Amino acid sequence: MPGLQPIPVNISAEEWKDAKPQLMRALNYIIKDVYSWIGRIQGIENSDPILSMGIHTHQSTDQGGDYPWADITAAEVTWLTAALAAVTAAKMAGLGGLTASRLVSADASGVPASVTNLLSWIGAGTGISVTDDGDGTATIANTITAFSQYTVVTHTTDANLALSDMKKIHIFDVETAGTDLIASLPSVASGNIGDWVIIVRVGTASTLYIWANDADTILDSSPGSVIECSDATYDLSTFTPLLLTATRWGSGPGGFGIWSTR
């Protein structure tokens, strides 16, 4: 099938002068409508085309047309061509997976898409977990299963405490044991400064001894010696060894009862 061939039309300069305003008016309407369409897509529907593009208005002038500035320039035609090319089917196709409950993101090319992984948007914290549901939603959950801050360990026999026993509550039940008990502190170094342990004596009939390891001291005790509670009056006597230096244990908060060093 032969292609369509343009038919040349010869018009005089006078005829072109009369026709030019009408052609420019039609072209201006087309450009203004296209710009409005692009604006609605890009979310700038209320933008002023005069300020944005410099296209003609539809006001009459003494030149007989409604383009008071000048004819449309090559730069404006280039801008319009690029704007139309930017609104492609590929960019619109990404909107197909969107729902009212999903977030929207765009890739480096500006293609919109539904957000299907929220882990990069929502960060987990202490006591909180975030699980991606794979459909643009996430489940946020509390991971704290118990409200007790410290681990409690009960002893009815002598115990050699390790570094892993620090920051815990150790109860030495001399009443159940029916005899004196010994709590031996761990061997420590400068890296352990600040460690502490809460030691409680349950009962009043027997003595609880807390021995320092190596050549360490407890308050004003002799190196490698002891602090003890043999008080027959106060049940639940408590002492909190707190490592102040690499070789010296002090007394942390929460002490109760009568304790003596030697």
Tell me which H or E stretch contains 83: helix 74-86
Give the torsion sign (CA, 222, 225, 231, 236): positive
Cβ atoms of 213 and 182 closer than 8 Å: no
Q: In a 3-state reduction of DSSP, which class is residue 258?
A: coil
Cβ atoms of 72 and 55 closer than 8 Å: yes
Q: Where are the beta strands (DSSP E) in the chain?
A: 104-106, 112-114, 128-132, 138-142, 152-155, 159-160, 169-173, 181-184, 198-202, 208-211, 217-218, 226-229, 237-239, 241-243, 248-251, 260-261
- pLDDT above 70 covers a percentage of the chain that reads 50
Beta bridge partners of 139: 131
pLDDT in tens, 73-100: 666 666 766 666 665 555 555 555 555 4
pLDDT in tens, 150-183: 889 999 999 999 999 999 999 999 999 999 999 9
- Residue spans of the domains in the chain: they are 13-87, 93-142, 152-261
Q: Judge residue 244's burial from the number of C-beta atoms within 10 Å of its C-beta, 0-12 exposed, 13-18 middle, 19 or more buried.
A: middle
Distance CA 142, CA 148 (A): 15
Distance CA 92, CA 187 (A): 68
Distance CA 52, CA 118 (A): 37
Q: Judge residue 19's burial from the number of C-beta atoms within 10 Å of its C-beta, 0-12 exposed, 13-18 middle, 19 or more buried.
A: exposed
Task: Answer whether residue 57 shows pLDDT above 60.
Answer: no
Return the pLDDT at 68: 45
Q: In a 3-state reduction of DSSP, which class is residue 163?
A: helix
Task: Answer whether residue 37 shows pLDDT above 70.
Answer: no
* Tokens (6 digits) for 200: 């409680």
At position 89, the amino acid (one-letter code) is A
Query: Regarding the domain delimited by 152-261, which CATH topology (the fold level of the hierarchy) does it fall under?
Result: Jelly Rolls (2.60.120)
Tell me which H or E stretch contains 128: strand 128-132
Distance CA 62, CA 30 (A): 23
DSSP 24: H
Cβ atoms of 229 and 207 closer than 8 Å: yes
Q: In a 3-state reduction of DSSP, which class is residue 81?
A: helix
DSSP 102: S
How many Å separate Cα 60 from the centre of its chain?
Answer: 58
Average pLDDT, rounded, for the chain:
75
Residue with tokens 């085309």, as numbered in its chain:
49
pLDDT in tens, 96-141: 555 545 556 666 666 666 555 555 555 555 667 777 666 656 677 7
